[in-house]
Structure 1
Amino acid sequence: MPPSALPDGDPAPVDGRLPPAALAARDAGAISAYVHVPFCRVRCGYCDFNTYAPGELTGPAGSATAYGTAVEREIALAGEVLQDAGNLSLATVFVGGGTPTLLPSEQLTGIVRRLASQWQLEDDAEVTTEANPDSVTIDSLATLRAGGFTRVSFGMQSSVPHVLATLERTHGPANVAAAVAGARTAGLDVSLDLIYGTPGESIEDWRRSLEAAIALEPDHISAYALVVEAGTKLAAQVRRGLITMPDDDDEADKYELADELLTAAGYGWYEISNWARPGKECRHNLAYWRGADWWGFGPGAHSHVGGVRWWNVKHPGAYADRLVRGASPAAAREDLT
C-alpha cells in the first residue's frame, strides 16, 4: 500500500543550495530539526504516512544501519547548505515516523549527538521522540534520557480494546500505563496522542479514553479526528461497506467533549488538536505554526528555511542513493509568498 503522494513543486537543485535571499531571511541563530524514521512493525489500516512494514523494503533500503548512515550524510549536507553552522543552535529536535523506537535507543541518541556536533544544542532544547507503547522498555527509555531526549510522545489512540482493534494498533491499554510509568522513571516529559471518530466508537468510548489519558497525568495530550485517507486499507473497507465512514457531527461532539474534559483537568488548549499543562506546550509544533525554520531529515521529510519549503524523495532506497552520490535528497520545493 503506497503512502500518500508528495505535493507538486519546482525542481530542487541537485546540490540542495538555497537562494541567498532565503539564507538572509532565515531565523538568526536558531533552527529546529525533524528526523523521519520510516519503519513500523505493522501498517495500521488508517495510516497514509511515509512508513514501511517488514517485507515492504528489501536490501539496504530496509536496513537501520543504512538509514542512519544516510541521515548522517544529510546532516552534513545541511551544514554545507546553511553555510554558517557554527553560528546556529538547535532549539528543538523531533524524531517522528513511523515508529522511531523500533531503532535501538543508542542509534536514536547517536542521531541527536550528530545533530549536536553540527549545530550547538541549546541548554533547554526540547528533544522529542514518538513511540508506540509496546516499542519501549524501562532500559530503552533511560538510554534515551541519558542521550539527550527530554520528551516522549506515545501513540495511545484509545483505551478501548475494540477501538484499538479497528485501528489495528498492536498495543493493549495496559501497555500505555506501563510505558508512561517507565518514561516518568527515566525523567522524560510525556505526551499522549488520541484519535476520535473511529467507526464503532461511541461517545462513551471516547469519554473513557479521555478519562484514562487524564488519569495518567501526562504533560501534553493531542486529540486528532480520524480521517479516511485515499489509498489506505481503511478507505478500502469503507468503500466495500465493511465499516462506516466517520460522521462529521459525531467527531464535532467528541472534539467538544475533549475540550471540556481536558480544560477541566487543567490542560490549556493552544493549537487545534493540542492541549498541555502550563509551560508544557510542544515547542517543536509551535515552531511549525509560527513559520520558524527547520530542516527535515529522512525520506519524505519536509523543511522550511527563509521562506523556501522543500521535501525529500519518499522511498528510503532513493533517499539513500542520492546522498551516496553526493546529491540532495530533495524532490521539489516552493517559495512561499
Structure 2
Amino acid sequence: MYLHVPYCRVRCGYCDFNTYTNLSMGAGASVGDYVGTLATEMRLVRSAMDAAGLPPRPASTVFLGGGTPTMLPVSDLAGMLNLVRDVFGLDGDAEVTTEANPDTVDERALAGLAEAGFTRVSVGMQSAVPHVLRVLDRTHSPQRVPQVVRWAARAGLATSLDLIYGTPGESMEDWRRSLDAAVEIGPDHLSAYALVIEEGTRMWAQVRRGELPVPEDDDEAAKYEMADAVLAQAGYSWYEISNWARPGSECRHNQAYWLDWDWWGAGPGAHSHLGDVRLWNVKHPLAWTNRVAGGRLAVDGHEVVDAGSRELEQVMLGIRLREGLDLANLGGSAGPGSGRTPAHLVPVVAGLVADGLIEPSAAMRGRAVLTLRGRLMADTVTRALTG
C-alpha cells in the first residue's frame, strides 16, 4: 500500500509532486484532519472491494510518501499504519517505510515510529553541499542528516538516504563530496536520482529566464558513473538503476513496483495498480475530502491497459532491475522459463550485446541484464526489445 501525505513546510523549486504548503484548507482537508479523512476513504475502498467479491489481501509493504509524511505527529503516522492493519490486514513481516525530511524528525519521534511498527525511514538528504541545497530549496543543514541516521539506527529502523545529482551549479567535486558524506554516514540503502526539471515548477521558470543553467546529459551520466563506483567500493550493490543497498537491505516496496505487483494508493492524487487496471485519485485535498465525505470513492479515473502496453510496461520496469528480464517471457515460441530467446529477438539481443548495453553472459542464458552503459541507456534497450 502507498499512502500519500500531501503537506510540506516548503515546496522545493524542482518538485512537481502533488504537495501543498497550505496546512489549513478547511474541514477534512487540513493537516489535523488528514488521518480521519484517510480512514473514511480506506473503509469505502474496503466496502467496494467486498461488494465486488475481491477477497482481503493483507499488505506486505506499506510506504508513506508525499509531501512530507513527518509533518504529521507520530501518533497520526501510527494511526495510518493501524488503519492498514484494521481495514486491509498487514503481513507479520511487512516492510513499513516513511519518508522524512531531516528537520522534521528527532530521536523521540523515530523511536515512536519504531514502536508503532515502522521498519524503515527514507531520509531526504539530496546533497551534503550547502550551496546545492540552497538551489534545491532544501531547508535542512548537512550536519542534521548523520544525526537522524544515528537516531533511527538506535531505534532499530533501517535507513535509506535519497540523493539528487545534476543540480544547476553542482560540480563533480560537489557530487563526490555528497557521495563521500553519504558513505560515511553509513545508511543501509541509498537512492540517487538525476535531477529532472519539470515544466511548471519554479526551477523550470528560473531556467527559462536564464537564472539557472539547464542540466547536461553528459554531466549527469558522469555523475551516475561516479556514484556507482563510489558506492560499490563502499559495499553497496546496485539492484535497480537508481538504487543501491547493502545485501539484504533492498527496498521491498520499490521492488514491488518494478516486479509488477498489485498495489493500492490512498490519499489525494494516489495511484493504484490492480492487474491490468490503473486508477488514480482526485489530486486536491479539498476535492478528495469532498468526495470521501459524500460517501464516494476518491478515484478520479481509470484505464485498462491492453496486452501490448502491458508488455511494454513490464519490460520498461523489469529491465531496471539487476536480475534483468527473462527474454522468453517476451513472446515467441520458446516459452517462459525455457532459457531460450525467442527467434525474432535473437538479432536484437546480439545488437544490444555488441553495443555494450546488455551483459553477454546473461544474454547467453536467455536474460537481458543491463551493463553500466546500458543503465544509462535503459530507454534505448526497452525500445529495442519491444519495437
Shorter-chain TM band: 0.7 to 0.9
TM-score of the superposed pair, with normalisation by structure 1? 0.88
In structure 2, what is the equivalent of residue 46 of structure 1?
A: 14
Structure showing greater relative contact order (alpha-carbon pairs closer than 8 Å, 6 or more residues apart) = 1
1:298 is aligned, of 267, 273, 295, to 267
- Taking only the aligned residue pairs, the percentage that are identical comes to 57
Amino acid at match of 2:283: K
In structure 1, what is the equivalent of residue 172 of structure 2?
A: 203
- Aligned 1:84-163 pairs, distance under 5 A: 87-163=56-132
1:78 is aligned, of 45, 68, 72, to 45
Runs of 5+ unmatched residues, structure 1: 1-32
Deviation, structure 1 residue 129: 0.1
Deviation, structure 1 residue 60: 2.5
- Cα distance in structure 1, aligned partners of 2:129 and 2:142: 7
Moved over 6 A (4+): none
Deviation, structure 1 residue 266: 1.1
Runs of 5+ unmatched residues, structure 2: 307-387
- Cα distance in structure 1, aligned partners of 2:243 and 2:113: 24
- Cα distance in structure 1, aligned partners of 2:15 and 2:84: 29
- Cα distance in structure 1, aligned partners of 2:198 and 2:117: 35
Larger radius of gyration: 2
**In 2, are the aligned partners of 1:38 and 1:98 still within 8 Å (CA)?**
yes
Quick check: 310-319 or 80-89, which moved more? Answer: 80-89
- Cα distance in structure 1, aligned partners of 2:228 and 2:136: 23
- Aligned 1:307-318 pairs, distance under 5 A: 307-318=276-287
- Cα distance in structure 2, aligned partners of 1:61 and 1:143: 25
1:59 and 2:59 are equivalent in the alignment: no
1:236 and 2:229 are equivalent in the alignment: no
SS class of match (1:254): helix
**In 1, are the aligned partners of 2:29 and 2:37 still within 8 Å (CA)?**
no
**In 2, are the aligned partners of 1:66 and 1:320 still within 8 Å (CA)?**
no
Deviation, structure 1 residue 74: 1.6
**In 1, are the aligned partners of 2:125 and 2:161 still within 8 Å (CA)?**
yes
- Cα distance in structure 1, aligned partners of 2:155 and 2:205: 41
Deviation, structure 1 residue 54: 3.1
- Cα distance in structure 1, aligned partners of 2:246 and 2:96: 18
- Cα distance in structure 2, aligned partners of 1:54 and 1:62: 10
- Cα distance in structure 2, aligned partners of 1:86 and 1:300: 25
* 1:178-214 deviation line (CA, Å, top 9, x unaligned): 1111111111000000000001100010011011001
**In 2, are the aligned partners of 1:132 and 1:156 still within 8 Å (CA)?**
yes
**In 1, are the aligned partners of 2:2 and 2:264 still within 8 Å (CA)?**
yes
* 1:104-128 deviation line (CA, Å, top 9, x unaligned): 0110011101110122211110000
Deviation, structure 1 residue 85: 7.4
1:215 and 2:184 are equivalent in the alignment: yes
Quick check: 217-226 or 66-75, which moved more? Answer: 66-75
